Amino acid sequence: MQLHQVETEHLHPIETVDDLKFYLYTAIQLEHATIPPYLTAMYSIHPGTNKDVYDLIRVVVVEEMLHLTLAANLMNAIGGIPDLTGEGFVPSYPTYLPNGETDFKVGLGKFSEETIDTFLNIERPPLPTDSLKGGSKHSFGLTNTKRSRKLLIPAFKSADGDELHFYSIGEFYRAIGDGITKLTQELGEENVFTGDPSKQITPEYYYSGGGEIIPIYNEEDALAAIRLISEQGEGHDGGIFDYEGELSHYYRFQQIKLGQYYHEGDEPNAPSGGPLAIDWDSVYPIQSNPRITDYPEGSELKTAAMDFNIFYKNFLEQLTIALNGQPDQLISAVGGMFRIKEMSYQLMRNPISDDNENTGAPTFEIDAIS
Amino acid sequence: METYQENLNVFLDLSVVLTDFSSYELQGTGQLEAYYSTIIDVIGESNMVEVLDAFTLAKTNANGNETELEKQIRIQLLSNDKLGPITRNIIKMWFIGNWYQLPNIWRETYGAYEKDETFVVSAIAYTEGLLWPTIGSHPPGAKAPGYATWIDAPQISKV
Amino acid sequence: MKKILTNFNEANNQHIYNMRHKQKVVDHKTALNKEYDAVIVGSGISGSIVAKELSQKGYSVLILEAGPGKDLTISGYEKYINQFYSAVSKDNNAPYKRNPNAPMPRSVDVKKLEPGKPNTDSYLVQNGPFISDFTYSRVVGGTTMHFESKTPRMLPEDFNILTRYGHGLDWPMEYEDLMPYYRKAEFEMGVSGDVSSQTFSNEKAYEDDYVFPMLEMPPSYLDQCVAKDLDGTEINVAGETKTLKIRTFPQGRNGIPNNDYKKFNNGELFKPVGAVSEHQAEEGERCQGNNNCTPICPVQAKYDARKTLAKALENGGVDILPQTVASRVVIDPVTQKVSAIVYKSYEDINSEKHTTGTITANLFILAANAVENARLMLASGLNGSSDLMGRNLMDHPYILTWALLPEVAGTTRGTICTSGISDIRNGDFRKEQAAFAVDIHNDGWGWATGSPNTNLEDIVDNKNKFGKELRNELVHQISKQLLLANMVEMMPEPSNRITVDPKYVDRLGNPRPIVTMHLPEYTMKGIAFARQMSRQIFQRLGAEDYSTYSTEDYGYVEYKGEGYAIRGGNHLAGTHVMGTDPSNSVVDANQKSWDHSNLYLVGAGSMPTIGSSNTTLTMAALCFKSIDAMVNDLKELQASKQTSKQL
Ligand SMILES: Cc1cc2nc3c(=O)[nH]c(=O)nc-3n(C[C@H](O)[C@H](O)[C@H](O)COP(=O)(O)OP(=O)(O)OC[C@H]3O[C@@H](n4cnc5c(N)ncnc54)[C@H](O)[C@@H]3O)c2cc1C
Ligand code: SF4
């Protein structure tokens, strides 16, 4: 499946439906990109231990999968093609996510304090509105940094050559929302939402505790979906809860860092709920950001790690089929997650070699598979 | 520590022969050390070492010949009145996660150990039983394969 | 922005219903200081439905629950699952710790009856002659915590079976009267199924175009293996010819919502109900095929009564007192109304320490299940003016038959049961012998033989296999298993009954139930026929019949020279039977006691017959149907209180 790719390495504000498609492709990619790190940390926990932590991460993963599906619905709504199979769709870990002044790496690592810090970075709330930099029309949450690395969300280039980045994922979605509104006003709703409605993933085929799937047929639905994604991630109106009263991802992870649950009515950074039991040692000593080449030639571990990547590639292919007009396929595709968990556990319980303390882990090197 | 690791490796080797699962698959259950220490905990280290020594002997005698190794396993372990019941317990433990109380005749002859009663090694051991992957299924109440997966023929790896 | 918000609320309606309930477990002091409109004994499905409905109508409700309540949180629920994983015996009550303060029957405790003396060592005192291994649970949520959640309706013919076929009792209502409530029950329990396959009644059983809230659970591979060779087989039953067909059963577990159900749900798609939890849990999804619906569904895809209970607690009008055993129903000698319930509450299941208290209310509802409702009434000396309290005890006896199919059928996958045979559930043959339904057990022979553990033990210990041969033999012995569970109709007989005797009490001093039961000839004919039909089925399939029934089995019964090991069906009913007047029944068609005008006894105990349907859906429908009568009574009771205050 070949996606219409925008040539430039840089973003520019959404002017056309094609621009919007490019943003949405990036959104799908971004939602997916957080899943392997979350899964890796989650499965590195010895089963049966660290239940609080496991459940907290799990909630976030389930919601990220919902976001991915919503982004695909958005893409289908405007006549685009959600594609999870293209080259580079799965980043090579560690990868970089935008975060204001400092780059941070998102990698595949075991559950640890460092990993939780990274997760907090991924889910960081947007800048308060009054601290936005610059004054121009498109400076919503953009910060000015020098960056050279390949980024998941491409940078803007300002008139005077500065590289501008979204401060947080929320701001990126805000740009998409603004773009949709602008296009709808300029072109008329029926000329933006031209997709085949039968491709929408509807609630029969997707339901989980992670929130509702919203089929998207018009601007109203689209903005509702964007709001859901943003608020589950970063809370409602700068608060720590979303409009449903659920904690946003950032504060969920912060509970792990602070060792304490938030309670209704709490202020940010000051949870007052019960303690979280954390055992940092009940974790498989997996190698961080592993590569197939790290595993001994001819070992079962290596074969299994390659099998994992093939399985994961198939999984993404199946998802893509489901998201392109065969919504009933989604149920069995999601069922594949069960194998992903089992295969991860097996890798993580096998030492890399006799003289290596670390155990294996999925490498998620999908592009390497021919 | 050295010998612990060595013994554990012999135990792993033995388990591969007894279960026909690869060492990667066995380690993948995360139960190798749990089972090893369960045996020691219930019937003591010397019995465990005896089993491992008998296996080492079987291997030496078989000299790389697979058919001969099977025969040697029967000679050195399975038909041995002391080691046979322990060996069968090792097999059952891998497949279902239970330690079974040793037969009465064994207990009368070689000692009734206090901890030697039938029990589930742990909640995780139950879910990691090899019986389930053997029959292309999953333990009841765990590792559910997903909605409607049951409509297709089971995927059973040929052995 | 406003526009988006409205849209959001709409979108929200499609959300899987996440059961976040407020913690409404109260302490005894608070409860005693409050005035409740209604007190309900038992938090199973019957009690929870009544609590939810009454509180939604604005009444304040207190639930007394004998068992512990920790399972209202995800972590409490997970403790049950771990307890189950670590239990050597994975019987139906394996997830629950033994609780001598509110004991429950466990199949592992059942023993063969020694002639001349009752079995008294476990909670149920069994008089025989038939010894049953039926169970129920005494924990928050009741027996639905481990039920399988098969949800067939009864047949229209079942409601006047005495008039029609000369057996059992007629109901004081027609099927039609219950139809709208069946729909409510199917909504409440979240039924997945295919109405178009439910065609074994000769009368109209469903509204035109009616569909269940969710699509049928797809038939297992095992079902398909059986169906391809069995469908079309003709069976002669008491002169009638029946053509067999494998069909799915309706069941209360989360599947794919049916678009056509919108018509019956105010234009909306059915919203499956997820896990019950105080914190956000993101669980309780679609059924994942854990093959463990009994005794515990790890992902809460299966309906259990806590889902209803959580809704009741959520709307604010309901309090619950767990670990509080109703011990005696107190009657005002003048008005004959219930004036109070005396309870015994305990802090710790490991200690007999308890306190005794008295709870009053306007209306009292016993929802402790058929055995426990009767036990409580009898322990309070309330045998009923008809002397029918505790009598007419019914259950569905099961005769299991098992065989090895000639091919690998993937046994042990799917829900416990997706399909079976329903063609012998109805017909003129019911003049002669009991009807029955047949389940194909996706979990294989386990119920009959303890498989797969017993297979493993046999292969290793007796067949002396290891390695490759062991693995092949496991596939051969397990993946071809076919177990048919024949669930046979049993009619009410007054001599089958629950009684109490001060000689037999539990740790808190509450009398234990004494069971006296025999299997009527009518039922035995059905059992014998079912066994014979299985032979024909196995012959048709070319399957090896391994069914054997040991004379040492506690459920062993001989009939016409052949022996059968019979299992309890856990569908206990009849003990406070409903009828048309106080002489022929304990309760009226609204489950209201004839003797005590502010007392309802709800649940399957009210059912005059049970046909060949698992009882829970019907009892849920009955509970919904009784609400109006309860509300009327509450209004009257309040009005009369008002007047007496004014006087
Ligand atoms: C293994 C098994 C499988 C089953 N499968 C099915 C099926 O597939 N389909 C079907 O329709 N039915 C099935 N059933 C039957 C079904 O579970 C019951 O019919 C149903 O749960 C009964 O509901 P209830 O609310 O009337 O009683 P219960 O669920 O038994 O609830 C009674 C409650 O009252 C409490 N209680 C008891 N005594 C006291 C007291 N003295 N004081 C305070 N509280 C008390 C108990 O703790 C309990 O919580 C099955 C049962 C079993 C055991
Ligand atoms: S099959 Fe599994 S997931 Fe489905 S209801 Fe039963 S136990 Fe739950």
Report for A269-278, B94-103, C80-89: range of highest mean pLDDT: B94-103
Distances (CA, A) of A212 to A65, A82, A224, C278, C444: 12, 20, 11, 19, 37
Mean pLDDT of C424-445: 97
Q: What is the pLDDT of residues B17-49, one digit of tens each?
A: 999 999 999 999 999 999 999 999 999 999 999
Residue nearest to atom 35 of ligand 1 (CA): C42
Cβ pair C272:A207 closer than 8 A: yes
Q: How many residues does chain C have?
A: 647
A304, A331, A349: residue with CB nearest B30: A349
Sorting pLDDT into bands at 50, 70 and 90, what band is C12? very low
**To the nearest whole number, what is the mean pLDDT of chain B?**
95
Cβ pair A207:C82 closer than 8 A: no
- In single-letter form, the type of residue at position A118 comes to T
Could you tell me how many CB contacts below 8 A there are between chain B and chain C? 144
Burial level of C83, CB count in 10 A (0-12/13-18/19+)?
middle
Residue A346 lies in a domain: no
Q: Measured in angstroms, how far is the CA atom of residue A245 from the centroid of ligand 1?
A: 34
Looking at the DSSP assignment, which residues form a beta bridge with residue C516?
C128, C497
Sorting pLDDT into bands at 50, 70 and 90, what band is B156? confident
Q: What is the pLDDT of residues C525-534, one digit of tens each?
A: 999 999 999 9
Q: Phi first, then psi: give them for residue A35, nearest 5 degrees.
A: -70, -50
Mean pLDDT of C171-188: 98
Number of CB atoms found within 10 A of residue B132's CB: 21
Q: Is C385 near ligand 2, meaning CB less than 6 Å away?
A: no
Contacts of C412 in chain B (CB under 8 A): 132, 135, 137, 140
Mean pLDDT of C443-455: 95
Full-model pTM: 0.90
Say what the pLDDT of residue C70 is: 65
Residues contacting A34, CB < 8 A, separation 6+: A64, A106, A122
Sorting pLDDT into bands at 50, 70 and 90, what band is C90? confident
Per the structure, the count of domains in chain A is: 1
Put simply, whether C286 touches A (Cβ < 8 Å) is yes
Residue A366 lies in a domain: no
Q: What is the pLDDT of residues A272-303, one digit of tens each?
A: 888 888 999 999 999 999 999 999 999 999 99
Residue A177 lies in a domain: yes
Greater confidence (C605 vs A156) lies with C605
Residues 223-262 of C with CB under 8 A from A: 256-259
Residue A365 lies in a domain: no
Establish whether this prediction's ipTM goes over 0.95.
Answer: yes
Q: Report the run of H or E that residue C221 belongs to, with start and end.
A: helix C221-230
Pocket of ligand 1 (CB under 6 A): C 41-47, 64-67, 92, 135-136, 138, 142-144, 146-150, 294, 325-326, 367-369, 372, 376, 570-571, 603-604, 614-617, 619
- List the structure tokens of B72: 């040697």
- In single-letter form, the type of residue at position A348 comes to M
Q: Measured in angstroms, how far is the CA atom of residue B118 from the centroid of ligand 2?
A: 28
Residue A128 has pLDDT above 70, yes or no: no
Say what the pLDDT of residue A8 is: 45
Contacting chains of A (3 CB pairs or more, <8 Å) are: B, C
Mean pLDDT of C26-46: 91
Closest-approach residue (CA) in chain A for B5: A354
Closest-approach residue (CA) in chain A for B31: A349
pLDDT above 90 as % of chain A: 48
Contact assessment for residue C271 and residue C15, using Cβ atoms and an 8 Å cutoff = yes
Distances (CA, A) of A333 to A37, A136, A318, C258: 20, 44, 6, 20
Greater confidence (A94 vs C150) lies with C150
Q: Is C275 near ligand 2, meaning CB less than 6 Å away?
A: no
Q: Minimal Cα–Cα distance from B10 to chain C, Å?
A: 17
Residue A356 lies in a domain: no
- Angle CA C133–C120–C365, to nearest 5: 70
Contacts of A58 in chain C (CB under 8 A): 282
Cβ pair B28:A332 closer than 8 A: no
Residue C156 has pLDDT above 60, yes or no: yes
* Alpha helices (H) along B20-148: 23-28, 32-43, 45-62, 66-73, 83-96, 104-110, 123-127, 131-134
What CATH number is attached to the domain comprising A156?
A: 1.20.1260.10
Sorting pLDDT into bands at 50, 70 and 90, what band is A172? confident
Contacting chains of B (3 CB pairs or more, <8 Å) are: A, C
Say what the pLDDT of residue A151 is: 54
A212, A224, A261: residue with CB nearest C15: A212
Residue A257 lies in a domain: yes
Cβ pair B30:A342 closer than 8 A: no
Please report, to the nearest 10 degrees, the dihedral formed by the alpha carbons of residues A58, A59, A61, A62 taken in order: 110
Distance, in Å, from the CA atom of C409 to the CA atom of C384, rounded to the nearest integer, reads 53
Put simply, whether B18 touches C (Cβ < 8 Å) is yes
Based on its alpha-carbon atoms, the radius of gyration of chain C, rounded to whole angstroms, reads 24
Residues contacting A48, CB < 8 A, separation 6+: B122, B123, B124, C82
Residue A136 lies in a domain: yes
Residue A6 has pLDDT above 60, yes or no: no
Say what the pLDDT of residue A162 is: 60
A207, A221, A247: residue with CB nearest C285: A207
Residue A298 lies in a domain: no
- In single-letter form, the type of residue at position B57 comes to L
Domain ranges of chain B: 4-139
Q: For residue A13, is the peptide bond before it cis, meaning its omega torsion is within 30 degrees of 0?
A: no
Outline where DSSP puts E strands in A79-235.
Answer: 95-97, 104-106, 142-144, 156-157, 163-166
Atom of ligand 1 nearest to the CA of C325: 42
Which residue from C4, C46, C88 is spatially nearest to C453, judged by alpha carbons? C88
Contact assessment for residue A347 and residue A362, using Cβ atoms and an 8 Å cutoff = yes
Name the residue of C191, C380, C570, C613 to mutate for ligand 1: max ligand atoms within 8 A of Cβ: C570
Q: Measured in angstroms, how far is the CA atom of residue C288 from the centroid of ligand 2?
A: 6
Contact assessment for residue A213 and residue A69, using Cβ atoms and an 8 Å cutoff = yes
Q: What is the DSSP letter of C384?
A: -
Query: Edge-to-edge, what's the strand order for the sheet holding C354-359?
Result: C324-331, C338-346, C354-359
Q: What is the pLDDT of residues A306-321, one digit of tens each?
A: 999 999 999 999 999 9
**Containing structural domain, residue A246:** 3-285
Contact assessment for residue C118 and residue C128, using Cβ atoms and an 8 Å cutoff = yes
Q: What is the pLDDT of residues C200-221, one digit of tens each?
A: 888 999 999 999 999 999 999 9
C86, C468, C479: residue with CB nearest B159: C468
Residue B103 has pLDDT above 70, yes or no: yes
Q: Minimal Cα–Cα distance from C286 to chain A, Å?
A: 8
Please report, to the nearest 10 degrees, the dihedral formed by the alpha carbons of residues C301, C304, C306, C308 taken in order: 100
> How does strand C599-601 pair with strand C361-366?
parallel
**To the nearest whole number, what is the mean pLDDT of chain C?**
91
Distance, in Å, from the CA atom of B135 to the CA atom of B153, rounded to the nearest integer, reads 11
